[in-house]
Structure 1
């Protein structure tokens, strides 16, 4: 076996040991190889008994879920000692996080730094484990998306961010005003603005009754705030209450059923003619179900969705509010490198007193067929 293949296999084993369990897609991202190569490596290592496999994921033998990662450098870290190493902790490489990571990685590489990734799997206690692992491995700074939404101290990931002994930037998260983590640098998409731009667009098309259907996510609170504020600003009536908590649904299927019933009731009982749906993946599932109920899109219900990962692939294509994910990762990486640069200067300045930054990047409204409008430019609040 060629040396570089053997080295990659050792890295795969180290990654599995650190994470306990991870998907083939996440393994491919961490190894920086194609899905085909990652799957081939995984199959070989499983056949040799060096890794296990469960439901499409590779697992460290004996691990049923992400295990606490060892606080020792994994193979590959040592090669970056000549340059700056930045650690990044995200819940997963699925959904929007792959774009965020790519944006951060591009900026770091352009400035001579190297990115090392840790995945928390949405387990708050894993945030702390990954942060400690990355710092122990020599990370000079951290880019962190905590598994929980707010940054108030308490059990889980929020206080782990505060414990990090290196400069840290929160990515696509925010904190409660007054909490200790509120003093950290952070970069996020302004999802409230994005929701507001959707309402303004629909109102410009003549819609007066607009509904909201949200999934349970870290962005839900901000989306609802921006949506409600835009209705008030425009003098539009409040949206019909959903009558259900998406976070309380027992399954994804039940969540779809509840959202469908909410939208059906909005159209049939409240004369709603337009809706903002989060996420676009949810809307793709709901669209044919609405049509099966006789609710035509956009004739009976104009739709705008938040997120633009699959929105353009539906029929009709979905108008989408697209958060600038790649730009968020790039801005966060630049902010962290700027702070690290100040720490390294010998000009007598005190980097601890340098201004902190809370950066919000505005999403873009991408108009397609589902809203029934001919406006082709992005609208802003």
Structure 2
């Protein structure tokens, strides 16, 4: 039941007399009235000399002025800077995973994008750090995935905790001492080759992109071919090496027709989607004549022939990298002895779809 104004005034006086002082907002909530109404009541009573108003609080007159406890706002969490070459392809999910991990700790992720321009990495880092970033998650624009000719210098001289994301550095390089989290892409390629072998394919090939992950994928593919005793058709051009796909289409068509190749690993999804109809226009059917496995699983299930694909754990890479960096910041904040640096590799999985069929064609 709503109190009459006189009753409300008496209740205000009673509560303030009992407690000495009360915040206006708390008093309004206790009486079930709006803060505006309560402030009018307090102004009326203060004008009569029956209470004192002080800094958003109401105080009993004549007694000691006791400031009511100020509600402390939660301290702002850590600010993490993240530099990626693009927010498309695999990095979209990596950024999401990092953002969620930072947000869960009450922090904020601030993004910089280099556009695969090597010199832009340092520019973005400087901007993020001057804006308050306390640590960095970095996927540098190293074309081969590792630094060459001193590309790491700007990174190791920053003086803040830093974690490499989907990049590495060779032993002896200063950047090799940084924490890092990446996908074991060699393992993913080997899993793809193993799946071909399990289906009975003996002659296979790989059509890959040039770029930061090419060396890992190539190494895993070649190692698995040797280990499983398969025959590989060498000489595949890099996808889009000449500005179009004709060289790759011609290579695959020749490999199927003349060299008995029945399976191919293609990096990445978009390239595989482009190649399939071009091969089919030449009479080479997927998967009847050529089984395909794509790499990255960004859009592989959306292909006309849904593509079996190697799927890196993208979101988990971002999440673990962020948690590792947050741990480093916590160590620095408490003065704790730093734990050993970590090189974390996460294994991708193979997602089976229609493009591999049930086995090699019978010829």
CA contact (8 A) 1:194 1:226 kept: yes
Deviation, structure 1 residue 233: 0.9
Hey, what does 1:297 align to over in structure 2? 286
- Give 5+ residue unaligned stretches, structure 1: 1-79, 375-381
1:361 has 2:346 as partner = yes
Which of 228, 231, 234 is matched with 1:240 structurally? 234
1:272 has 2:261 as partner = yes
Hey, what does 2:356 align to over in structure 1? 371
CA contact (8 A) 1:87 1:142 kept: yes
Aligned residue for 1:289, secondary structure, equals: helix
Hey, what does 1:257 align to over in structure 2? 246
CA contact (8 A) 2:306 2:354 kept: yes
Deviation, structure 1 residue 155: 5.6
Deviation, structure 1 residue 154: 3.3
Hey, what does 1:163 align to over in structure 2? 157
1:154 has 2:157 as partner = no
Q: Distance in 2 between matches of 1:154 and 1:133?
A: 24
CA contact (8 A) 2:208 2:266 kept: yes
Q: Distance in 1 between matches of 2:96 and 2:135?
A: 17
Hey, what does 2:192 align to over in structure 1? 198
Q: How many residues align?
A: 285
Which of 217, 225, 232 is matched with 1:231 structurally? 225
Aligned residue for 1:228, secondary structure, equals: helix
Using structure 2 for the length normalisation, give the TM-score: 0.75
Aligned residue for 2:356, secondary structure, equals: coil
Hey, what does 2:129 align to over in structure 1? 135
Deviation, structure 1 residue 163: 2.1
User: Deviations along 1:46-88, whole A, 9 cap, x unmatched?
Assistant: xxxxxxxxxxxxxxxxxxxxxxxxxxxxxxxxxx983210000
CA distance 1:317–1:151, shift in 2 (3 Å): closer
CA contact (8 A) 1:91 1:146 kept: yes
Q: Distance in 2 between matches of 1:211 and 1:104?
A: 35
Aligned residue for 2:136, secondary structure, equals: strand
CA contact (8 A) 1:153 1:179 kept: no
Deviation, structure 1 residue 345: 1.4
Q: Distance in 1 between matches of 2:145 and 2:294?
A: 24
Runs in 1 of length 4+ with deviation above 4 angstroms?
none
Hey, what does 2:326 align to over in structure 1? 337
Give the CA RMSD over aligned residues.
1.7
Aligned residue for 2:254, secondary structure, equals: helix
User: Deviations along 1:216-259, whole A, 9 cap, x unmatched?
Assistant: 121111001000111111111233222x3558x342x2xx1111
